[in-house]
Amino acid sequence: MQLDRAWPWISTVARLGLAAVFLVAGGLKVGDLAESGRAVNAYQIFDYDTSKVIGAVQPFLEIALGLLLLIGLAVRLSAAISALLLVVFIAGIISAWSRGLQIDCGCFSKGGAVANGDTQYGLDVARDAGFLLLAGVLLVKPRTRFSMDGLLMGER
């Protein structure tokens, strides 16, 4: 079957795409962990101290997931953690949207308050749903080309 032969390549594109997303997102936040904590705090879900901790840990988690996906190690586990993280991100955005908060999600920026009408919640949710789809592909079809998992299993 042609589709059976295509899946490892489709999954490879999904793996590398998701790796790029997490590496860029984490890389943009890791330089200013205090700002990352303020972005989490803008969601008004956690107290300030908890937000600071989440903001300090999140970039390193994103970078770790990005690196694991980039080299293709523990692909299904990395995809599962990615999917869980993306569901949390989507829930956070929907929560901010439903409560009328005027914030930037902080996904690929500094986050925080924005002027009335400058939010892009619908686009943010759609974008993260697309990333969630990539994670879903990897959960179902974790075998990819050019991966450490493949090398460890004797594939070429």
Q: What is the pLDDT along the chain (156 residues), one digit of tens a residue?
A: 687 889 999 999 999 999 999 999 999 999 999 999 999 999 999 999 999 999 999 999 999 999 999 999 999 999 999 999 999 999 999 999 999 999 999 998 888 888 888 899 999 999 999 999 999 999 999 999 989 887 777 665
pTM for the structure as a whole: 0.92
In-domain check, residue 155: no
In-domain check, residue 81: yes
In-domain check, residue 2: no
Domain carrying residue 24: 7-147
CB 42 within 8 A of CB 111: yes
C-alpha to C-alpha distance for 77 and 128, rounded to whole angstroms:
19
In-domain check, residue 153: no
In-domain check, residue 114: yes
C-alpha to C-alpha distance for 101 and 114, rounded to whole angstroms:
9
How far, CA to CA in Å, does 41 sit from each of 85, 113, 153? 17, 10, 43
Structure tokens at 86: 């993306």
Q: 2-30 and 33-41 helices cross at what angle (nearest 10)?
A: 100
In-domain check, residue 1: no
